[in-house]
């Protein structure tokens, strides 16, 4: 465990810790999971894709996350 904390501290000092990217659908899904909204976001995204087939899955996820006020 000590080596993990040391690695995290080293990454903080170097500025290499990954930041949240609101345009990355995987980051958005992780945030939705922490808020307990992942399933709602996914179901809404599936409905959006069904209604508008021109949307890609990542686009629909980002749009659904905005609808649920995750981002």
- Digitized pLDDT (tens) for each residue of the chain, 71 residues in all: 568 888 888 888 888 888 889 999 999 999 999 999 999 999 999 999 999 999 999 999 999 999 999 99
Domain count, the chain: 1
Q: Is residue 30 part of a domain?
A: yes
Residue 3 lies in a domain: no
Domain holding 39, by residue range, is: 18-67
Within-domain flag for 9? no
DSSP, collapsed to helix, strand or coil, labels residue 36 as coil
Residue 34 CA to residue 47 CA, distance in Å, equals: 22
Q: Is residue 4 part of a domain?
A: no
Q: What six digits make up the tokens of 12?
A: 């903080």
In a domain, 60, yes or no: yes
Quick check: is 13 in a domain?
A: no
């Amino acid at each position: 465990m000590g080596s993990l904390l040391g690695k995290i501290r080293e990454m903080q000092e170097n500025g290499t810790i990954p930041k949240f990217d609101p345009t990355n659908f995987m980051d958005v899904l992780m945030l939705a999971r922490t808020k307990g909204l992942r399933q709602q976001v996914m179901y809404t995204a599936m409905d959006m894709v069904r209604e508008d087939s021109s949307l890609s899955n990542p686009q629909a996820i980002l749009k659904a996350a905005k609808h649920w006020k995750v981002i």
